[in-house]
């Protein structure tokens, strides 16, 4: 079985596996400059992962997957990986860092093939280290497969217990690897790929959008509620049967693929090479519950949901926010980038001019280099910097998409006042986040969520704003122009569509083996 080298001093471990039909082109372990868990947590819900797959014989599928992951970089910046099928061989390369840091042209040229599976990771189950990077590649009696997962299982402990006889083969602490071993076991029981994938999925409870590469083609699957998004499209002409699957439509756009449809909640799709008609079947039936934070914040504004770009939806929630929470002010500004469309909508309805009051450093990405305490005290602004020429002497309405912990929002308000704003009125284009997510978003326990601990007036005082208001839940879902019941809104109301054991709520590192963190 393929495994990630856990020794940080071995930068280029080229591992030849015992199984001749399965090879690992490169498994590298990049030591982090510092533990990312120790970094100051931002005020946002932290990312879901991104998955991408392409099946296109004759094309440079590794390069296409690189660009697909590049488009999905916003969904996870901790690690990236690509597995490429070349006849009976699989080449896998994954490492810590951004897509552009993990891959270069030399690496991609060493990964020829017809089918590729890619993944960007942000850790929601399992810590941030290379052994937890994806895709997961395993061998079966039918040949190798590669699996990439976006989401989070709420029955991971139960699933792991049922796979305890395989515990010696586990190489990570992720629920994604458990799904892969469940699939391997189903194939080992005599099932074909299609039936085995359905059997493995039936053992999972929670959020899981999967792309799976096999010798029999590409599979794409969503959990019954469809909590995390997954779409598919065509590269080239339909008769060529060159299929692409992506977490978002922006992954299709970047490589010139045409959108065909969403992978529906509870659907399994089998794409075969040069087959213009994929096999689509429902493997389970549950109420649709797309994570509403995909609409508000996670997905790129140019990605399309329900037939339109998210930019249009985010403008509308800004318009709804202006109608619900008017205030007298001189300018409206948005917190880049996700707050900008809502700020434009707020401006259009309120009549208050929109202005760029905050400049974002778009080249920062996720840094593991932490500023010193002296730098923090001096007010280092790594990502956002206010414009005094725009803000001085102005009553400012600042629009953001969410407040989770209140830490960076408080610093932002202080920076706006330092730049000369005479009043700061904060408006949030979503309801208060009062409950943690267990379906693929890294939010804290309730005692760390500011809206769960403090009243609106107490939050105002904590942030140092002249006024604070949130968008209503009705305003948020009505702006989507689809049925309000189609969304998971648990982080706002505690109405979890999938029940879970109390133990699941305790820690995102519930699967971490004792001592593993100390060894990496």
Active-site residues: which are they?
Answer: 49
What is the separation of C-alpha 181 from the centre of its chain, rounded to a whole number of angstroms? 22
The structure tokens 């989770």 sit at 404
The structure tokens 């009243």 sit at 455
- Alpha-carbon distance of 49 to 477, in angstroms, equals 23
What are the respective helix, strand and coil percentages of the chain, to the nearest 5? 30, 25, 45
- Alpha-carbon distance of 9 to 423, in angstroms, equals 52
Integer angstrom CA distances of residue 465 from 160, 409, 459:
47, 10, 9
Angle CA 200–201–204, to nearest 5? 100
Q: 430, 381, 423: which is closest to 404 by C-alpha?
A: 430
196 DSSP 8-state letter: H
- Alpha-carbon distance of 310 to 341, in angstroms, equals 9
- Alpha-carbon distance of 299 to 76, in angstroms, equals 11
The structure tokens 């080298």 sit at 5
Per DSSP, what are the bridge partners of residue 117?
53, 83
The structure tokens 């495994």 sit at 3
The structure tokens 């904590």 sit at 462
């Amino acid at each position: 079985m393929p495994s990630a080298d856990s020794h940080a001093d071995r930068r280029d471990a080229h591992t030849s596996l015992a199984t001749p039909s399965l090879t690992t082109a490169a498994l590298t372990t990049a030591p982090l400059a510092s533990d990312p868990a120790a970094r100051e947590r931002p005020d946002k819900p932290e990312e879901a992962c991104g998955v991408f797959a392409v099946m296109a014989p004759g094309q440079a599928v590794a390069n296409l997957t690189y660009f697909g992951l590049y488009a999905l970089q916003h969904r996870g910046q901790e690690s990236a990986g690509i597995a490429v099928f070349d006849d009976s061989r699989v080449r896998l390369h994954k490492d810590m860092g951004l897509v552009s840091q993990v891959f270069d042209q030399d690496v991609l040229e060493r990964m020829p093939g017809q089918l590729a599976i890619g993944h960007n990771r942000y850790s929601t189950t399992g810590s941030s280290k290379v052994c937890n990077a994806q895709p997961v590649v395993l061998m079966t009696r039918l040949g190798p497969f590669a699996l990439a997962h976006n989401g989070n299982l709420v029955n991971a402990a139960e699933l792991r217990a049922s796979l305890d006889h395989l515990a010696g083969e586990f190489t990570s602490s992720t629920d994604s690897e458990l799904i892969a071993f469940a699939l391997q076991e189903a194939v080992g029981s005599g099932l074909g790929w299609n039936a085995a994938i359905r059997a493995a999925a039936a053992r999972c409870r929670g959020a899981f959008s999967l792309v799976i590469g096999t010798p029999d083609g590409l599979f794409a699957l969503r959990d019954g509620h469809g909590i995390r998004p997954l779409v598919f499209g065509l590269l080239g002409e339909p008769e060529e049967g060159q299929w692409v699957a992506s977490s978002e439509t922006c992954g299709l756009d970047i490589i010139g693929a045409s959108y065909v449809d969403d992978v529906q909640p509870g659907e399994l799709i089998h794409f075969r090479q040069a087959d213009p008609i994929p096999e689509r079947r429902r493997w389970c039936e549950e109420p649709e519950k797309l994570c509403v934070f995909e609409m508000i914040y996670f997905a790129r504004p140019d990605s399309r949901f329900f037939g339109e770009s998210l930019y249009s939806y985010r403008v509308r929630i800004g318009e709804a926010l202006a109608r619900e929470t008017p205030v007298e002010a001189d300018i409206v500004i948005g917190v880049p980038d996700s707050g900008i469309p809502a700020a434009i909508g707020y401006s259009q309805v309120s009549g208050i001019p929109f202005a760029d009051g905050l400049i974002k450093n778009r080249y920062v990405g996720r840094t593991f280099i932490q500023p010193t305490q002296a730098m923090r005290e001096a007010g280092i602004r790594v990502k956002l910097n206010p414009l005094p020429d725009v803000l001085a002497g102005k009553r400012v309405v600042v629009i953001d998409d969410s407040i989770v912990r209140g830490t960076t929002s408080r610093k932002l308000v202080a920076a706006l006042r330092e730049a000369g704003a005479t009043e700061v009125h904060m408006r949030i284009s979503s309801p208060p986040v009062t409950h943690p997510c267990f379906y693929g978003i890294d939010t804290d326990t309730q005692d760390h969520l500011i809206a769960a601990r403090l009243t609106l007036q107490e939050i105002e005082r904590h942030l140092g704003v002249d006024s604070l208001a949130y968008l209503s839940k009705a305003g948020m879902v009505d702006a989507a122009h689809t049925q309000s019941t189609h969304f998971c809104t648990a982080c706002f109301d505690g109405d979890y569509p999938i029940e879970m054991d109390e133990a699941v709520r305790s820690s995102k590192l519930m699967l971490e083996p004792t001592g593993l963190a100390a060894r990496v």
